A and B are shown apart, each in its own frame.
Chain A
Amino acid sequence: MMSNGTDKIEYVSYLEHQGKYSGLRSWIFATDHKRIALLYLYAIATFFFVGAILGLLMRFELIAPGETIMKPQTYNGIFTVHGVIMIFMVVIPGLSAVFGNFFLPILIGAKDVAFPKLNLFSWWIFIFGSILAVASQFLKSGPPDTGWTFYAPYSTTTGTSVIMATTAAFVLGFSSILTGLNFIVTVHRMRAPGMKFFNMPLFPWSIYATAWIQLLATPIVGITLLMLIAERLFGIGFFDPKLGGDPLLFQHLFWIYSHPAVYIMILPAMGVITEIIPTFCQKKVYGYKAIALSSLAIAGVGFLVWGHHMYTSGMSENARWFFSLLTFIVAVPSAIKVFNWISTMYKGSIDLKPPFLFALSFIFLFIIGGTTGLILGSVATNIQVHDTSFIVAHFHYIIFGGMGFAFFAAIHYWLPKMYGKMYNFKRANIAWGSLFIGFNLLYFPQFIIGIQGMPRRYFDYPPQFQWAQIISTIGGVILISGIILMVYNLIMGVRKGEIAPANPWNGSTLEWQIPSPPSLENFDEAPVVKENPYDYI
């Protein structure tokens, strides 16, 4: 901008700002972090919807024993795409690419991320990877049927299009690495003058910790997938025991990435919740430093516990107790956060608006997911429930109940800032109710039949499990209706909703200091940095 403070810049929101391009091209070639965030939002929402429909199809297959609506091989294909879409295309980019992109720079008082062009490039790679993933479904050799984990040796021998799917995962990983890199540099170099690390709000902290995991863990899965591809192409035998390889080594490498990856999903979710709770309690967050540092602790220790996915696969006894011990240790910082949230609410002036409802249900579902995680972390109990629907219930509670609900919380919290419009509260509450009820109906029964022995990734089951499968399917329908209602409400809000004020929730962090929607460079006046970002009164 030519002017430098002497004459006031006229406010134009980023949504209306005219740059080099117009129309669609002003979006898909935008380097503004806010536009890129919306690009991710639209892409990810679409993928989520597709993935959810696939989940519902599986639910209908499972409504009765035997074949109901699909063949076994179709079921195998569907749970694989469902997993690949949900993990690599929805939850891993999810919060950090959408809300991290939009709000990380704003919350630290910056104009943009450190490398705007790289940011756009990451989005394009993401789209390219997603196209590959979708394409793997339509190749002649048939959709991959390995599950999203691509375990060797099945993945090295099955005739389905595994190469395409793993290439897709590799490309998507690359996008994730570049996003992480961008965010780390942004936090180090772009903070507003006067903002030290410990003056940052906690969402940037969590995005920062996440970015490190993205950067350091993803290359390992990248190289693993390349080895898998090489093995399929040249019969190398890194992993296939028929050729003398070691399938456990694949599992090690895969989980060296994929366990930290679950923190890529959940850390930003915790960050979102940490922003929402103080706002709706109008109270300073309890234990700021403990929350900030526990994010880093989770990221660090999270690298050392991958073996808890392999208790039953023939690891040595020593490795098993070691991983079990560390798993229990990594639970501590997560619990610290829960205590902090609850203490923040204590004696706050609580305002039950939709974002807060989602945040509360996040805590509830996360506690269920987390405590069942401890059951999985201890070797003896793990052996009983490994590869049963108990696992399915556990990780849906963590990723859908956790990350998913945090995503919904975030969109209800920040939508007025992003679009300058407000949605209908009553409809939002109804949608929340049906999501919450549907979710629990869908997944809680899976814990019970999991303990009783219902295996995971099966399209058939003995009749004694049917009662739970029926409840689950009903829950799935309620859940999907909730999603549809919520999305409808949000879209109506954006298109026809009332104009939102700059600070509808009386929040204290920097995003609420600027107009809704923000202008192209976010801060037309230098932001006022507070000692503690959550200072109310």
Chain B
Amino acid sequence: MSEKGIHIEEHRDDEASKLGMWLFIFTELLLFGGLFLVYSIYRWQYPVNFHEASLELSVTIGVINTIVLLFSSMTIAMALTAIQKNNKKLALRLIAVTLLMALIFLINKYFEWGHKFEHGLYPGSDLMALLERGHLLYFSLYFFMTGLHALHIIVGMILLIIAYFKVKKDSVNSDRFVFLENGALYWHLVDLIWIFLFPLMYLIT
């Protein structure tokens, strides 16, 4: 280790940081869990309405976004592998690809939402107020859940951008990579939630 002189006082425990991240992920899971609970109750009460309303969504966009997210999840996992193998250039590229995927996801989402907005479908709109009960609930949940999810994408992106610069500056390297590891964990969480969101929102029969 080259920097022996520097970390005398610093207390470093990567395991602790990682455990902390996992615990944070637990809270995020339960945060979405509350929404999934509400979703399951209302879907159970209004199965037909939920089915009809879900036809408004384009499965194609949903699939594209699913694959985009899954792919980004892989690239960020690979970025971690690259850093562990001390391949800085590859790691930087993989993080960049991940960020690009995230951006594509958001742009897709933007168009998907924008499409709804054009039709007057947005929270608080006059049209929403006229909808049938189950339809209204479906779209409310749709906007609320995908919106919260998109917010998490943005937070994840910020984390990964920071990780990118840390890798660049070598403060994340093959010997200390917990920051990137945690950023990646967070990113996988976002993916994990989408895995459940996708069939529940787009594929209702």
Chain B residues within 8 Å of A416, by CB: none
Chain A residues within 8 Å of B28, by CB: 219
Chain B residues within 8 Å of A234, by CB: 123-124, 128, 140
Q: How large is the interface on A (under 10, 10 to 19, 20 to 34, 35 or more residues)?
A: 35 or more
Quote the shortest CB–CB distance from B16 to chain A (angstroms).
4
Given contacts A185-B23, A249-B41, 16 further A-B contacts (CB under 8 A): A181-B24, A216-B26, A219-B28, A220-B30, A220-B33, A222-B31, A223-B34, A227-B144, A230-B144, A233-B123, A235-B129, A237-B136, A238-B137, A246-B45, A253-B38, A256-B34
Per-residue contact bits, chain A 202-228, to B (CB 8 Å; 1 contact, 0 not): 000000000000011111101110010
B64 at the interface (CB under 8 A from A): no
Given A1-B9, A2-B8, A114-B13: A236 and B140 within 8 A (CB)?
A: yes
| Total A-B pairs, Cβ < 8 A | 92
List A161-189 residues whose CB lies under 8 Å from chain B. 177, 181-182, 184-185, 188-189
B158 at the interface (CB under 8 A from A): no
Quote the shortest CB–CB distance from B34 to chain A (angstroms).
4
Contact B124 A185 (CB under 8 A): no
Chain A residues within 8 Å of B38, by CB: 227, 238, 249, 253
Quote the shortest CB–CB distance from B84 to chain A (angstroms).
22
Taken together as a complex, chains A and B put the C-alpha atoms of A516 and B124 apart, in Å, by 60
Taken together as a complex, chains A and B put the C-alpha atoms of A236 and B135 apart, in Å, by 11
List A108-127 residues whose CB lies under 8 Å from chain B. 111, 114-115, 118
A-B CB contact pairs (8 Å), 8 listed: A188-B16, A215-B27, A216-B27, A218-B27, A219-B27, A236-B123, A246-B45, A253-B34
B37 at the interface (CB under 8 A from A): yes
Taken together as a complex, chains A and B put the C-alpha atoms of A132 and B144 apart, in Å, by 24
List A245-264 residues whose CB lies under 8 Å from chain B. 245-246, 249, 253, 256
Q: Which residue in B9, B34, B133 is a CB contact (below 8 Å) of A244?
A: B133
Q: Which residue in A114, A189, A219, A233 is a CB contact (below 8 Å) of B31?
A: A219
B15 at the interface (CB under 8 A from A): yes
B114 at the interface (CB under 8 A from A): no
Contact A237 B140 (CB under 8 A): yes
Taken together as a complex, chains A and B put the C-alpha atoms of A245 and B46 apart, in Å, by 12
Taken together as a complex, chains A and B put the C-alpha atoms of A233 and B45 apart, in Å, by 24
Q: Which residue on chain B has the smallest CB distance to residue A257? A: B34
Q: Which residue in B23, B24, B31, B128 is a CB contact (below 8 Å) of A223?
A: B31
List B24-58 residues whose CB lies under 8 Å from chain A. 24, 26-28, 30-35, 37-38, 41, 45
A243 at the interface (CB under 8 A from B): yes
Most chain B C-beta atoms within 10 Å of own C-beta, residue among A177, A217, A219: A219
Taken together as a complex, chains A and B put the C-alpha atoms of A115 and B13 apart, in Å, by 10
Chain A residues within 8 Å of B31, by CB: 219-220, 222-223
Taken together as a complex, chains A and B put the C-alpha atoms of A233 and B125 apart, in Å, by 11
Contact A219 B33 (CB under 8 A): yes
B199 at the interface (CB under 8 A from A): no
Quote the shortest CB–CB distance from A485 to chain B (angstroms).
41
Contact B34 A224 (CB under 8 A): yes
Chain A residues within 8 Å of B34, by CB: 219-220, 222-224, 253, 256
Given A1-B9, A114-B13, A185-B16: A215 and B144 within 8 A (CB)?
A: no
Quote the shortest CB–CB distance from A142 to chain B (angstroms).
23
Measured CB to CB, the residues of B under 8 A from A are 8-9, 11, 13, 15-16, 19-20, 23-24, 26-28, 30-35, 37-38, 41, 45, 123-124, 128-129, 133, 136-137, 140, 144
Contact A181 B20 (CB under 8 A): yes
Taken together as a complex, chains A and B put the C-alpha atoms of A253 and B30 apart, in Å, by 12
Quote the shortest CB–CB distance from A248 to chain B (angstroms).
10
Quote the shortest CB–CB distance from A210 to chain B (angstroms).
14
Chain A residues within 8 Å of B19, by CB: 184-185, 188-189
Taken together as a complex, chains A and B put the C-alpha atoms of A149 and B9 apart, in Å, by 47
Taken together as a complex, chains A and B put the C-alpha atoms of A383 and B41 apart, in Å, by 26
Chain A residues within 8 Å of B136, by CB: 236-237, 243-244
Quote the shortest CB–CB distance from A295 to chain B (angstroms).
18
Per-residue contact bits, chain A 1-40, to B (CB 8 Å; 1 contact, 0 not): 1100000000000000000000000000000000000000
Contact B20 A216 (CB under 8 A): no
Quote the shortest CB–CB distance from B57 to chain A (angstroms).
18
Taken together as a complex, chains A and B put the C-alpha atoms of A125 and B34 apart, in Å, by 23
Taken together as a complex, chains A and B put the C-alpha atoms of A233 and B128 apart, in Å, by 13
Given A216-B26, A220-B30: A114 and B20 within 8 A (CB)?
A: yes
Given A218-B27, A243-B136: A223 and B9 within 8 A (CB)?
A: no
Chain B residues within 8 Å of A244, by CB: 133, 136-137
Quote the shortest CB–CB distance from B182 to chain A (angstroms).
12
Contact A233 B124 (CB under 8 A): yes
Taken together as a complex, chains A and B put the C-alpha atoms of A224 and B124 apart, in Å, by 19
Contact A215 B129 (CB under 8 A): no
Q: Which residue on chain B has the smallest CB distance to residue A250? A: B38
Q: Which residue on chain A has the smallest CB distance to residue B9? A: A1
Taken together as a complex, chains A and B put the C-alpha atoms of A141 and B20 apart, in Å, by 40
Chain B residues within 8 Å of A230, by CB: 123, 140, 144
Taken together as a complex, chains A and B put the C-alpha atoms of A238 and B140 apart, in Å, by 8
Taken together as a complex, chains A and B put the C-alpha atoms of A222 and B148 apart, in Å, by 13
Contact A235 B23 (CB under 8 A): no
Contact B37 A253 (CB under 8 A): yes
Q: Which residue on chain A has the smallest CB distance to residue B37? A: A253
Given A185-B23, A236-B136, A237-B136: A219 and B30 within 8 A (CB)?
A: yes
Taken together as a complex, chains A and B put the C-alpha atoms of A230 and B41 apart, in Å, by 18
Taken together as a complex, chains A and B put the C-alpha atoms of A50 and B109 apart, in Å, by 48
Q: Which residue on chain A has the smallest CB distance to residue B125? A: A234
Q: Which residue on chain B has the smallest CB distance to residue A111? A: B11
Per-residue contact bits, chain A 491-506, to B (CB 8 Å; 1 contact, 0 not): 0000000000000000
Most chain B C-beta atoms within 10 Å of own C-beta, residue among A1, A114, A185, A218: A185
